[in-house]
Amino acid sequence: MAKREQLTRRAVLGSLGALPFLSWARAADTPPPSLLYQREAAPLTAAGQVPNVMGFEPLARRALPPAHYAYLATGVDDDHTVVRNQEAFGHYQIRARRFADRRHLDLTREVFGARWPMPLYLSCVSSMGAFHPEGELAVARAAHSRGVQMMLASGSSVAVRPVLDACGGPLWMQLYPTDDWAVTEELVRRYTDAGVSAIVLTLDNLGRRRNNETLFSAMARDSRPCASCHVNNSHDMWRRGPIFTGIDTSRVTQLEPDEQTLQFFDRLRAQVKVRLIAKGIVTGEDAALAVQHGADAVIVSNHGGRDEETLRASIDCLPEVVAAVRGRVPVFVDGGFRRGTDVFKALALGASAIGVGRPHAWGLSAFGQDGVEAVIDIYARELDAIMRQAGTVNTGEIGAASVLRA
């Protein structure tokens, strides 16, 4: 009998959200039982009916115009790094332990002196008004209702102050400094005056030369005029975004300067009076330099695979960054987290907390605030379940002995 091509669970769920011209399948000999006994599901009409985080992706795809969905889905070149971010979690096995008192599991985590209800935060996603009319405000209200940290994007559809009011607590503000220092200074001043608790410098968006083929292909297939969403048909956030309103951006040509050196970081560190977090760190060398030059935390991130096709998954970069930081500052990580088991593995490898981006955007696209809350609840539920299996009754007990590299 000819060998048949089968799909892994992650690849199947990923392919549900893929555009028609993508194929994220990989071969395997035996399908999982979940495919063998799959039945036609009833239509999902409420966020609470979605069984897992990946279940929100096809719902978002159906709810969004092609270009808006592809903006979320796209990677670089062949999208391999996007896929690798998810598949790499399969390289790590969790060691189940049996003798433990599981009556009172504790998912909380102390971060920057505050007690978080779980080690998860909502990472920055730009232009969320393209996914739901309430955009970032709905995300902020969901963050508030679940007590989780939110990071607002420089490309937000809403200004900082309304989002800060809606989330009702500390807000992290992502920073694209642009290649005009005068704009950088004004953005930092605005964020600080608004009352954000941290500024997150994105170091990995070197977008002038990136090849987002999936997005470009979808834009060509989208029949809507871009001018209906983009003022003067501009896709440059510094020309249209509320965050930049009133700032002279006439000299800006890109979101990040080419001379993004340590001297630039030092200059920014002197300007930022709140916490400064370096996002986009994927090597031990850069992690050590960031801490040496005053970073209050680092985020291991490859921008969800949107800006580089290195084929290095974030979870695989985490151990060397943790080793280089040596406990001096928190180490966060994002990229490909779709299960509570993924969160568990990152904690075991030394992460302080985990950021999610696309998943809460899918939830927002499908059900608004309810969808974002449901996504958060699924992570909490699944993390609770795997902590019970691993015999770790609080997040502090999750450590190197909890996982094995397969």
Q: What is the pLDDT of residues 337-349, one digit of tens each?
A: 999 999 999 999 9
Which 3 state secondary structure label does DSSP give 333? strand
Phi and psi based region of residue 280 (left: phi greater than 0; alpha: psi -120 to 50; beta: remaining):
left
* 361 neighbors 334 (Cβ within 8 angstroms): no
Phi and psi (nearest 5°) for 354?
-125, 135
* 306 neighbors 334 (Cβ within 8 angstroms): no
Percent of the chain topping pLDDT 70: 87
CA distance 143 to 137: 10
Question: How does DSSP assign 340-368, residue by residue?
Answer: HHHHHHHHHTT-SEEEE-HHHHHHHHHHT
Eight-class DSSP state of 335 = S
pLDDT at residue 9, as a whole number: 41
User: Counting runs of H as helices and runs of E as strands, what totals does the chain give?
Assistant: 16, 12
Which residues are the active-site residues? 303
* 53 neighbors 359 (Cβ within 8 angstroms): yes
Which residue type sits at 94? I
* 276 neighbors 197 (Cβ within 8 angstroms): no
| Tokens 């159906």 sit on residue | 62
Furthest CA-CA distance within the chain:
69
Q: pLDDT digits over 19-71, tens only?
A: 444 434 444 567 777 776 666 667 889 999 999 999 999 999 999 998 889 88
pLDDT at residue 28, as a whole number: 52
pLDDT of 8 over the 60 cut: no
219 — pLDDT class (breaks 50, 70, 90): confident
Q: Which of 239-243, 266-270, 360-364 has the lowest mean pLDDT?
A: 239-243
Q: Which of 8-12, 233-237, 260-264 has the lowest mean pLDDT?
A: 8-12
Mean pLDDT value of segment 247-259: 91
Q: Give just the sign of the alpha carbon dihedral 338, 339, 340, 343.
A: negative
Q: Which of 298, 109, 311 is nearest to 201 (CA)?
A: 298
CA distance 149 to 143: 6
Q: pLDDT digits over 374-392, tens only?
A: 999 999 999 999 999 999 9
CA end-to-end span of the chain: 31
- The average confidence (pLDDT) of the chain is 89
Mean pLDDT value of segment 243-267: 92
Query: Residue 97: enclosing H or E segment and its boundaries?
Result: none
pLDDT at residue 230, as a whole number: 58
Mean pLDDT value of segment 396-405: 97
Query: Residue 182: enclosing H or E segment and its boundaries?
Result: helix 181-194
| Tokens 């039945």 sit on residue | 39
* 402 neighbors 390 (Cβ within 8 angstroms): yes
pLDDT of 2 over the 60 cut: no
CA distance 337 to 347: 12
All residues at 6 or more sequence positions from 156 whose CB lies less than 8 Å from its CB, including other chains: 126, 127, 128, 135, 136, 163, 241, 242, 243
- To the question of pTM greater than 0.85 for the whole model, the response is yes
Q: Which of 406, 28, 68, 401 is nearest to 228 (CA)?
A: 68
Q: pLDDT digits over 167-208, tens only?
A: 998 999 999 999 999 999 999 999 999 999 999 999 987 756
* 9 neighbors 339 (Cβ within 8 angstroms): no
Stretch(es) of the chain classified as CATH 3.20.20.70: 109-405
pLDDT of 16 over the 60 cut: no
Q: pLDDT digits over 223-238, tens only?
A: 766 655 555 555 677 7
Q: Which of 153, 12, 45, 121 is nearest to 360 (CA)?
A: 121
CATH of 109-405, one of 1.20.1260.10, 2.40.110.10, 3.20.20.70, 3.40.720.10: 3.20.20.70
Alpha-helix residue ranges (DSSP H) falling in 293-355: 314-325, 340-348
CA distance 126 to 297: 22
CA distance 227 to 316: 41
Mean pLDDT value of segment 289-308: 95
All residues at 6 or more sequence positions from 33 whose CB lies less than 8 Å from its CB, including other chains: none
